[in-house]
Amino acid sequence: MARTLHVDGNSGKAYIYKGEVAPATYANPSATQLGDLHFHSDLSYLGNTQVLEATITHPERVRSSSSSKWGGTTYRTRQGTQSFVLGTNTLGTISPAVAFFGSAQMPAGTVVHKVGQSVRAVSIMVTASQIRLFENWLTFDDTLPAVSRTYRIFVLQTLFTGSGNTSIAIAPGTFTAGFGKLSTSYRYLRRADTLPDAFVTAGRTADVQSGGVKVVLPDGSVPLQSATYTGSFTGMPGTGVRI
């Protein structure tokens, strides 16, 4: 099917759509027309601006225990946190990000290390200058030995409003339209029904019941389920995307 690129010389609107119908058809698109559009300068987009892969060596977390000749050895719960710098945020603004541990997308509080009932969970944080990892650890009967883990983070630029006064520009090796919203400098999110890089969902990904937790990712995988969890949460569907 043909694709049509149209730029309005008066308003500066730029859009790419399926087919060869009159451009006015998509000047102000309705929700039912969004499936026909590849790009429209009135819409908002996310452009990938940075891919960071970093390996962190998480330090040993020693269990707390005490012994007596009458009561044997007892263990006390220990808990702590630590923040690590993964790298520099080259965008320079607080931006949304998608993180992965191995091949799995990381929700906040992803467990990356477990020995017995002792666990180490992490979350990704993005500041205006850094991409950081926040560790929350908890020990019971077992010490958590030092361990190295590799994380991959996609930092996304929000392309919600146009900038400048150039509606479209074409030069060797570069193309921009929609006042900067469409640019060959970005790697956009695209729907992918097979082998997606990530999932987008408006639904929750975790449930807590009877003191236990169950995490179900949008692809249906279950990276975490406590032994005490008694609920029946099956997750929420999501849309697969590639970056």
Q: Rounded to whole angstroms, what are the CA distances from 56 to 102, 122, 127?
A: 13, 11, 18
Residue 47 has pLDDT above 80, yes or no: no
Indicate the SS3 state at residue 165. coil
Residues 178-216: tens digit of each pLDDT: 888 888 888 788 888 888 877 888 788 899 999 899 988
Q: Which CATH architecture has domain 48-157?
A: Sandwich (2.60)
Distance CA 142, CA 119 (A): 9
pLDDT of the residue at 71: 59
Domain boundaries, the chain: 1-43, 48-157, 198-242
% pLDDT > 90, the chain? 41
CA 113 to chain CA centroid, Å, is 20
Residues 118-175: tens digit of each pLDDT: 999 999 999 999 999 999 999 988 999 999 999 999 998 888 888 888 888 999 989 9
201 C-beta neighbours (distance < 10 Å), count? 14
